[in-house]
Amino acid sequence: MVYVLSANAGSSSLKISLYDTTQPPHLILTSSLSNITAPPAKFTFQRVDSAVQNEELSNVHDHASAFAHFLECLTKEAKIDSETVVAVCHRVVHGGDYTDPVLINDEAFHHIEKLSDLAPLHNGAALAVIKTCLTQLPHAKSIAFFDTAFHRSIPAYISSYAIDQKIAKQRGLKKYGFHGLSYSSILRAVSHFLQKPPTSLNMIVLHLGSGASVCCIRQGHSLDTSMGLTPLDGLPGATRSGAIDPSLIFHYTNKAGRISHNKDNAVHLHVTQAEQILNSQSGWKAIAGTTDFGDIIRRRTKDSAAQLAFDLLTDRILNFVGSYHLKLGGQVDALVFSGGIGERSQELRAFIGQKVECLGFTRVDQAKNENVDEKTEVVVDISASPGPKAVLVCRTDEQLEMAQHVTNLISMLGDKRLLSFMRLPTALVLLLNAALTSAQARTALAVGFVQPGHTPNPPFFTIPSATRLAISVAVCSGTTNSASPRFFVTNSSSTASPGSGGGENVFEIVLDHGHGSWTGVFPEGGVVGVEDAGDTRFEIGVSNGVPIHEVISTPPLFGDSTASQALLFSPPFSAPNQQDPTYPKYILPPGNLSAAIPPSNPINFTVIVSPTSNSLTSMQQTACMLKTQNSTGVVAKEGLWMRDSSGWRMEWLFTGLTAKTNYTVYAIESGYKVAGPIFFTTKSPSFSCPLVSQVPYCPSVGYATPLPPPPNPLVSYDGSSLPESISGPLISSLTNFTTSLTTFACGRDLYSPLVSCADCQRAYRTWLCTISFPRCADQDTSPSSAALLLSQPPNARNSAFPAGSNYTQLLPCLETCTATDRACPNFLGFRCPSPRFNAAESYGVGYVDSGADGVHGHGTPGMWSDNFGNVWCNSGQ
Ligand SMILES: Nc1ncnc2c1ncn2[C@@H]1O[C@H](COP(=O)(O)OP(=O)(O)O)[C@@H](O)[C@H]1O
Ligand SMILES: CC(=O)OP(=O)(O)O
Ligand SMILES: [Mg+2]
């Protein structure tokens, strides 16, 4: 077994964790040294499976001696051979312009050393640990990870100081920001907890330890942070002043104050001493005489100095929370407490939580806040109720953050190769450095998330380990004929760069119309490689269920159109929760059915409507491609509706379309799955029938009927705006029919193995609604068969519809009638006219079933409409 060690040299502590090299790494043991700034130092050592050992060490007073003591315990107490430690990760607070982790060599060591002036409490401590490692663990590779790296995304207008920009550039005088490893660990953990991709998270994170800072994270990147050129700026700390008026330096002592007015005496001004005072002799140590904030909390009610330290820190925290809330435009997913104080002080959390309620943050729940210490989860939600602005506590883990990068690399290279690297001369160590840097540059995919973008350099994406994952890709630009990128996936840890060259367990993800997916096991993680991508945009999704990118086999549904409107439905996504009644409670739904209760968390659909002349069908048939195409028209109404037994659908009423135009429709589910295309045609400009839908007692009606224009400002009719003259007789017929039907012993005796009385009632309802709501046809676009069209008036079947207007009615499909005949008990006497004799007088005959009687219609046998939404007879939908 080989191990990875992570060392985190904080200003008052040294935290060390040992991990195995699995992916993700398992913690083997932890050790810490705290109170370095207030001796005697406290040392702890704990194997995960045994009790913690505590010691007060009078001979340990700095990070180097603490680390040496730890190594002793590692071999003597834990019996771990130090030769089995293959890599040591070091948290280095200031990395200057280093943005990636580096393998420690002479150059890197001196770079970190040079930056020590800018992190006087930290870089020196990290270097001391690194030095101890180089001498005592000569076979292990030391790798430095930088706190500053996370903040490279801070824009120049925020990171610049208002000073001479030439000097600022020459000397690197700008805001760097710190606690970056902690912030990336928190971002990863909260993203997992809230089930949101890191790139969609906006957070205000408080890292409150001996050094305290705040970070404003916008879409997963640091936008601003309270520390600056050095970790002295921003919030006060255990021994640090935090932000002060810079002139204070010249007025801190009488001497300095006097000198500042007298140039001749300026030689006595010791700026370095000022820096030392502000870094090491200020903060709550200077105010309350302790570096232990827990002590301040305990003393504050009796001790005004402790109260001042508490009030001062919380006041400065609020300054940052307020301004970062504003910078995020109020769009904040969470306020997160972390660091020694943030994770342990319920008093501070309660105080800040109460103050930020006015910004819309969820109230902090007293019990949840008090019980954080008893929870073992990484993220604990202390909000009183679920809300958009949660208040969370996150146990940050800078050591794990570093170890994960290294074990990821090891899993890609294979332990053996890393071990053999260790015996190679320095020149080849540079190779490892290059491999490490490129491994860092590889984009990591996360389960449940989609990675958008172009090909990164190098063009590889790492996949986390999991028993079973579906990797899906979608090409977001080009046509189905243009050359597409090729995607290769491997689940073998011995293949680091899968591609067309093959290799162990390399599989190509074959694309179809821009989509592709591969499902398999990833016990050691994996890699996706991309070839021939050029400038093509694409997405890669990782899921432990069905592939994130998919074509949905059920297309969207077209209801009906007018000259400028269209009624469209998504594919069904939630099965109806209707159970047929059983004996003895054989109660059928009432005639005046009320609308069913829609599902509380419907699937999110987006609909795209585009003139067919725009040729959307020749483009890549992926959501990311189609979403870039402008949808025509305006969604005037949007809602959930269950029109048939297939279940709930989204319903959209589009307005603003052009008459007599062919349109193409897609529905996109949850941003990534595509349903469609379907096509429809708008009616001619003279078409005057308005659309009717969402009628609870006739749920399947969704088409144009011969009614006057709906009253302003309505654009269509629904159940509430229909005249009583239509609904009244219909509901009373349904009620009477239902009463007659329940006299039949539907449930007691087996009425039919195929149908029930509930089926009979549903079929009758559909038939009655079809008869009661005539469907208008467009004379111009309807099939040529005049036999299907009944000019109105005077022959309106339903006298409630106003006579006199100029429209053409489609005859009901005969099959809507025969379906009722088939489903209902004989004694009800429901009969339909015979196709052989008089059916064609009042029904459209021969369009759905071509008919045993040999009756052939003019439409497509077996269908009541064509692919462009032209309808041959009124089926009632
Ligand atoms: N129960 C507690 N309540 C408030 N503060 C605490 C408590 N326990 C520890 N602390 C504070 O946490 C700080 C250490 O935080 P930590 O993040 O571990 O430090 P570092 O900045 O050295 O990494 C100490 O300064 C101590 O004051
Ligand atoms: C940057 C910094 O202040 O770190 P820490 O809180 O670990 O001392
Ligand atoms: Mg720390």
Q: Is the pLDDT of residue 802 over 70?
A: no
Atom of ligand 1 nearest to the CA of 212: 21
Q: Is the pLDDT of residue 275 over 80?
A: yes
Judge residue 312's burial from the number of C-beta atoms within 10 Å of its C-beta, 0-12 exposed, 13-18 middle, 19 or more buried.
Answer: middle
Mean pLDDT, rounded, of the chain: 85
**Are residues 474 and 623 in contact, defined by beta-carbon separation less than 8 angstroms?**
yes
State the distance from the centre of ligand 3 to the C-alpha of 396, rounded, in angstroms: 9
State the distance from the centre of ligand 3 to the C-alpha of 394, rounded, in angstroms: 14
Pocket probe mutation, ligand 1, options 16, 338, 344, 395, max atoms within 8 Å of Cβ: 344
CB of residue 695 inside a 6 A radius of ligand 2: no
Max CA pair span of the chain: 122
Atom of ligand 2 nearest to the CA of 9: 7
The per-residue pLDDT for range 279-309, each reduced to its tens digit, is 999 999 999 999 999 999 999 999 999 999 9
Residue with more model confidence, 206 or 846: 206
Q: How far apart, in whole angstroms, are the C-alpha atoms of residue 368 and residue 513?
A: 50
State the distance from the centre of ligand 2 to the C-alpha of 31, rounded, in angstroms: 18
Atom of ligand 2 nearest to the CA of 10: 7
pLDDT confidence tier of residue 115, bands split at 50, 70 and 90: confident
The per-residue pLDDT for range 823-841, each reduced to its tens digit, is 888 888 888 988 777 777 7
Looking at residue 741, what is its pLDDT? 85
CB of residue 234 inside a 6 A radius of ligand 2: no
**Are residues 159 and 173 in contact, defined by beta-carbon separation less than 8 angstroms?**
no
State the distance from the centre of ligand 1 to the C-alpha of 328, rounded, in angstroms: 28
Looking at residue 267, what is its pLDDT? 47
pLDDT confidence tier of residue 328, bands split at 50, 70 and 90: very high
Residues 6+ apart with CB under 8 A from 164: none
Q: Is the pLDDT of residue 413 over 60?
A: no
State the distance from the centre of ligand 2 to the C-alpha of 12, rounded, in angstroms: 8
State the distance from the centre of ligand 1 to the C-alpha of 864, rounded, in angstroms: 73
Residue whose token pair is 């029938």 = 689
Question: Residues 526-548: what's their mean pLDDT?
Answer: 91
Looking at residue 412, what is its pLDDT? 59
- Residue 455, amino acid: T
Looking at residue 300, what is its pLDDT? 95
CB of residue 341 inside a 6 A radius of ligand 1: yes
Nearest-CA residue for ligand 2 atom 7 is 10
- Point out the catalytic residue in the list 81, 100, 147, 381: 147
CB of residue 209 inside a 6 A radius of ligand 1: yes
The per-residue pLDDT for range 601-629, each reduced to its tens digit, is 888 899 999 999 999 999 999 999 999 88
What are the backbone angles phi and psi of residue 399, rounded to the nearest 5°? -65, -45
Q: How far apart, in whole angstroms, are the C-alpha atoms of residue 610 and residue 55?
A: 73
Atom of ligand 1 nearest to the CA of 12: 22
Q: Is the pLDDT of residue 792 over 70?
A: no
Atom of ligand 2 nearest to the CA of 207: 6
Q: How far apart, in whole angstroms, are the C-alpha atoms of residue 406 and residue 404?
A: 5
Nearest-CA residue for ligand 1 atom 18 is 340
Query: How many CA atoms, within 13 angstroms, populate the side-chain half-sphere of residue 383?
Result: 19
Looking at residue 535, what is its pLDDT? 81
Nearest-CA residue for ligand 1 atom 2 is 294
Looking at residue 258, what is its pLDDT? 45
The per-residue pLDDT for range 746-791, each reduced to its tens digit, is 665 566 777 788 888 999 999 999 988 988 888 765 554 433 455 4
Give the single-character DSSP code of 150: G
* Letter string b/e over residues 94-113, b meaning 16 or more CB atoms within 10 A of that residue's CB: bbbebebbbbbeeebbebbe
Residue whose token pair is 């590692």 = 74
Question: Residues 842-865: what's their mean pLDDT?
Answer: 58
Question: Could you count the other beta carbons within 10 Å of the beta carbon of residue 88?
Answer: 28
Atom of ligand 1 nearest to the CA of 237: 25
Pocket probe mutation, ligand 2, options 12, 33, 93, max atoms within 8 Å of Cβ: 93
Q: How far apart, in whole angstroms, are the C-alpha atoms of residue 306 and residue 288?
A: 5
pLDDT confidence tier of residue 551, bands split at 50, 70 and 90: very high
**Are residues 35 and 43 in contact, defined by beta-carbon separation less than 8 angstroms?**
no
Looking at residue 798, what is its pLDDT? 64
> Residues in the chain, how many?
877
Q: Is the pLDDT of residue 37 over 70?
A: no
The per-residue pLDDT for range 697-746, each reduced to its tens digit, is 999 999 999 888 998 889 999 999 998 888 899 999 999 998 888 877 66
3-state helix, strand, coil in the chain (%, to 5): 30, 25, 45
In the chain, the percentage of residues whose pLDDT exceeds 70 is: 86
CB of residue 178 inside a 6 A radius of ligand 2: yes
Detail the DSSP E strand segments found in 425-565: 443-444, 450-453, 460-463, 466-475, 486-490, 506-509, 515-522, 526-531, 538-543, 550-552, 557-561
Give the single-character DSSP code of 289: S
CB of residue 719 inside a 6 A radius of ligand 2: no
Residue with more model confidence, 585 or 184: 184
Q: Is the pLDDT of residue 422 over 50?
A: no
Looking at residue 863, what is its pLDDT? 60
Looking at residue 424, what is its pLDDT? 37
Q: How far apart, in whole angstroms, are the C-alpha atoms of residue 331 and residue 57?
A: 48
Q: Is the pLDDT of residue 855 over 50?
A: no
CB of residue 492 inside a 6 A radius of ligand 2: no
pLDDT confidence tier of residue 234, bands split at 50, 70 and 90: very high
Domains and CATH numbers, the chain: 3-153 (3.30.420.40), 174-242+282-396 (3.30.420.40), 443-548 (2.60.120.380), 552-842 (no CATH)
Q: Both tokens of residue 331?
A: 């769009």
CB of residue 396 inside a 6 A radius of ligand 1: no
pLDDT confidence tier of residue 585, bands split at 50, 70 and 90: low
Q: How far apart, in whole angstroms, are the C-alpha atoms of residue 64 and residue 47?
A: 22
Q: How far apart, in whole angstroms, are the C-alpha atoms of residue 347 and residue 571?
A: 51
Atom of ligand 1 nearest to the CA of 34: 22
CB of residue 293 inside a 6 A radius of ligand 1: yes
Annotated binding site for Mg(2+): 8, 398
Q: Are strands 3-9 and 85-92 parallel, antiparallel or unpaired?
A: parallel
State the distance from the centre of ligand 3 to the C-alpha of 14, rounded, in angstroms: 9
Q: How far apart, in whole angstroms, are the C-alpha atoms of residue 58 and residue 41?
A: 7
The per-residue pLDDT for range 172-218, each reduced to its tens digit, is 999 999 999 999 999 999 999 998 888 889 999 999 999 999 999 99
Pocket probe mutation, ligand 2, options 11, 175, 213, max atoms within 8 Å of Cβ: 11
The CA radius of gyration of the chain, in Å to the nearest whole number, is 36
Pocket probe mutation, ligand 2, options 37, 116, 121, 291, max atoms within 8 Å of Cβ: 121
Nearest-CA residue for ligand 2 atom 2 is 211
Nearest-CA residue for ligand 2 atom 3 is 211
CB of residue 297 inside a 6 A radius of ligand 1: yes
Q: Is the pLDDT of residue 261 over 80?
A: no
CB of residue 11 inside a 6 A radius of ligand 2: yes
Nearest-CA residue for ligand 1 atom 4 is 294
CB of residue 71 inside a 6 A radius of ligand 1: no
DSSP string, 668-686: EETTTEEEEEEEEEPPPTT
Nearest ligand to the C-alpha of residue 178?
Answer: 2
State the distance from the centre of ligand 2 to the C-alpha of 90, rounded, in angstroms: 14
Least confident of 9-13, 72-76, 354-358, 363-367: 9-13
Q: Is the pLDDT of residue 421 over 50?
A: no
State the distance from the centre of ligand 1 to the C-alpha of 120, rounded, in angstroms: 20
SS3 421: helix
3-state SS string for 87-127: EEEEEECCCCCCCCCEECCHHHHHHHHHHHHHCCCCHHHHH
SS3 383: strand
Atom of ligand 2 nearest to the CA of 91: 7
The per-residue pLDDT for range 653-685, each reduced to its tens digit, is 999 999 999 999 999 999 999 999 999 999 999
Q: Both tokens of residue 698?
A: 């006739």
Q: How far apart, in whole angstroms, are the C-alpha atoms of residue 498 and residue 509?
A: 11
In the chain, the percentage of residues whose pLDDT exceeds 90 is: 51
Question: Residues 790-814: what's their mean pLDDT?
Answer: 64
Would residue 303 show up in a list of annotated catalytic residues for this protein? no
Give the single-character DSSP code of 345: -
pLDDT confidence tier of residue 266, bands split at 50, 70 and 90: very low
Q: Is the pLDDT of residue 441 over 70?
A: no
CB of residue 773 inside a 6 A radius of ligand 2: no
Give the single-character DSSP code of 364: B
Question: Residues 807-814: what's their mean pLDDT?
Answer: 81
Nearest ligand to the C-alpha of residue 296?
Answer: 1
Question: Residues 627-644: what's their mean pLDDT?
Answer: 91
Looking at residue 185, what is its pLDDT? 96
Looking at residue 401, what is its pLDDT? 94
Residue whose token pair is 């490692």 = 133
Nearest CA-CA partner of 6 in 536, 324, 406, 396: 406
Pocket probe mutation, ligand 2, options 8, 179, 282, 293, max atoms within 8 Å of Cβ: 179
What's the complex ipTM? 0.98
CB of residue 487 inside a 6 A radius of ligand 2: no
State the distance from the centre of ligand 2 to the C-alpha of 397, rounded, in angstroms: 13
Judge residue 303's burial from the number of C-beta atoms within 10 Å of its C-beta, 0-12 exposed, 13-18 middle, 19 or more buried.
Answer: middle
Question: Could you count the other beta carbons within 10 Å of the beta carbon of residue 426?
Answer: 8
CB of residue 209 inside a 6 A radius of ligand 2: yes
Of 202-206, 464-468, 844-848, where does the model show the most confidence? 202-206
Which parts of 300-397 fold into alpha helices (H)? 304-327, 339-344, 346-356, 366-370
State the distance from the centre of ligand 2 to the C-alpha of 9, rounded, in angstroms: 8
Looking at residue 612, what is its pLDDT? 95
